[in-house]
Structure 1
Amino acid sequence: MLEYLFIAFIVIFCIQCIFYLFLFGNFAFSKKTVQNNDFEQAVSVIICAKNEAENLKKNIPYFLEQNYSNFEIVLINDASRDASLEIMKQFKSNYPTKIKLVDVVPNEQFWGSKKYALTLGIKAATHEYLLFSDADCKPVSKNWIQEMSNNFSSQKQLVLGYGTYKKIENSILNKLIRFETLFTAIQYFSYAKVGIPYMGVGRNLAYTKATFFDANGFVNHMHRIKSGDDDLFINQVATKNNTAYCISKDSFTESTPKTSFKNWLQQKRRHISTASHYKPIHKYLLVLFFSSQLLFWLFGIILLSFQFNLINVLLILVLRQLFFYLSVGFSAKKLNETDLILLLPFYEIFLIFIQLFIFIKNLISKPTHW
Structure 2
Amino acid sequence: MLIFISLVSIFLIVLTLAVSIGLCIERRRASRPAFANIDYSPLVSVVIPGRNEASNLTALLESFEKQSYRNFELILIDDRSEDESLSIMKAFAEKSTLKVKVLSNTEAPGENNPKVNVLLKGLAQAEGELYFFTDADCVAGPQWVQLVVNAFADANTGIVCGLLTLTGNDNLVCGFQNFDHFYRMLYAFGAIGLNMPIGCFGNNLAIRRAAYDETGGYESLKHSATEDAELISMVKDGGKYSIRALFNEETFIETVHKPTWPEHANQAARWAAGAVFSTNRFAQLGFIALMLVAAFCLISIIPAIFISSMFWVFPLVMYAYLFISAVVLGLTGAVNQAYWRYLVPSVLLYPIVYVQSFFRTVITRTINWKGTIITWKKRK
Partner of 2:243 in structure 1?
A: 243
TM-score (norm 2): 0.84
Query: In the alignment, is the contact (CA less than 8 A) between 2:26 and 2:245 conserved in 1?
Result: no
Partner of 1:17 in structure 2?
A: 13
Task: Report the Cα offset of residue 213 of structure 1.
Answer: 2.0
Deviation digits for residues 66-122 of structure 1 (CA, Å, limit 9, x no counterpart): 001311111111222322111111111012652112222315767772212111211
Look up the equivalent residue of 2:136 and give its one-letter code.
Answer: A
- Indicate how the Cα distance of structure 1 residues 10 and 367 shifts in structure 2: closer, same or farther if over 3 A, else same: same
Distance 1:97 1:235 in 2: 33
Partner of 1:34 in structure 2?
A: 31
Query: In the alignment, is the contact (CA less than 8 A) between 1:6 and 1:303 conserved in 2?
Result: no
Deviation digits for residues 244-287 of structure 1 (CA, Å, limit 9, x no counterpart): 11111100000111111122222222332232331223201222
- Indicate how the Cα distance of structure 1 residues 237 and 307 shifts in structure 2: closer, same or farther if over 3 A, else same: same
SS of 2:217's equivalent?
Answer: coil
Distance 2:212 2:248 in 1: 25
Counting only pairs closer than 5 Å after superposition, residues 297-308 of structure 1 correspond to structure 2 as: 306=308
SS of 2:36's equivalent?
Answer: coil
SS of 1:150's equivalent?
Answer: helix
Partner of 1:196 in structure 2?
A: 196
Deviation digits for residues 18-75 of structure 1 (CA, Å, limit 9, x no counterpart): 1111223531686542242123222111111112122112321101210013111111
Partner of 1:228 in structure 2?
A: 226
Distance 1:145 1:355 in 2: 33
Partner of 1:268 in structure 2?
A: 268
Distance 1:367 1:321 in 2: 27
- Indicate how the Cα distance of structure 1 residues 49 and 34 shifts in structure 2: closer, same or farther if over 3 A, else same: same
Query: In the alignment, is the contact (CA less than 8 A) between 2:75 and 2:101 conserved in 1?
Result: yes
- Indicate how the Cα distance of structure 1 residues 75 and 15 shifts in structure 2: closer, same or farther if over 3 A, else same: same
- Indicate how the Cα distance of structure 1 residues 54 and 314 shifts in structure 2: closer, same or farther if over 3 A, else same: closer
Distance 2:89 2:211 in 1: 28
- Indicate how the Cα distance of structure 1 residues 317 and 353 shifts in structure 2: closer, same or farther if over 3 A, else same: closer
Counting only pairs closer than 5 Å after superposition, residues 167-186 of structure 1 correspond to structure 2 as: 168-169=169-170, 171-186=171-186
Distance 1:124 1:90 in 2: 20
Distance 2:318 2:112 in 1: 50
Distance 1:158 1:83 in 2: 33
SS of 2:187's equivalent?
Answer: helix
Task: Report the Cα offset of residue 191 of structure 1.
Answer: 0.8
2:326 maps to 1:357? no
Task: Report the Cα offset of residue 328 of structure 1.
Answer: 2.8
Query: In the alignment, is the contact (CA less than 8 A) between 1:47 and 1:133 conserved in 2?
Result: yes
Question: What is the RMSD of the two structures over their aligned residues, measured on CA atoms?
Answer: 3.0
Deviation digits for residues 199-239 of structure 1 (CA, Å, limit 9, x no counterpart): 111110000222222222223331x34x3232222233235
SS of 2:206's equivalent?
Answer: strand
TM-score (norm 1): 0.86
Structure 1 residues not aligned, in runs of 5+? none
Distance 1:63 1:367 in 2: 31
- Indicate how the Cα distance of structure 1 residues 277 and 31 shifts in structure 2: closer, same or farther if over 3 A, else same: closer
SS of 2:272's equivalent?
Answer: helix
Look up the equivalent residue of 1:34 and give its one-letter code.
Answer: S
Look up the equivalent residue of 2:219 and give its one-letter code.
Answer: V
2:162 maps to 1:161? yes
Look up the equivalent residue of 1:98 and give its one-letter code.
Answer: K
Counting only pairs closer than 5 Å after superposition, residues 314-325 of structure 1 correspond to structure 2 as: 320=321, 323-325=324-326
Partner of 2:85 in structure 1?
A: 84
Percent of pairs with identical residues: 20
Query: In the alignment, is the contact (CA less than 8 A) between 1:50 and 1:84 conserved in 2?
Result: yes
SS of 2:258's equivalent?
Answer: coil
SS of 1:360's equivalent?
Answer: helix
2:64 maps to 1:66? no
Partner of 2:133 in structure 1?
A: 132
Structure 2 residues not aligned, in runs of 5+? 371-380
Deviation digits for residues 298-326 of structure 1 (CA, Å, limit 9, x no counterpart): 6699689846599x999978975774254
- Indicate how the Cα distance of structure 1 residues 309 and 53 shifts in structure 2: closer, same or farther if over 3 A, else same: closer
Partner of 2:259 in structure 1?
A: 259
Distance 1:349 1:156 in 2: 38
Distance 1:321 1:351 in 2: 9
Partner of 2:346 in structure 1?
A: 347
Task: Report the Cα offset of residue 288 of structure 1.
Answer: 2.2
- Indicate how the Cα distance of structure 1 residues 327 and 299 shifts in structure 2: closer, same or farther if over 3 A, else same: farther
Distance 1:368 1:313 in 2: 34
SS of 1:73's equivalent?
Answer: strand
Query: In the alignment, is the contact (CA less than 8 A) between 1:151 and 1:159 conserved in 2?
Result: yes
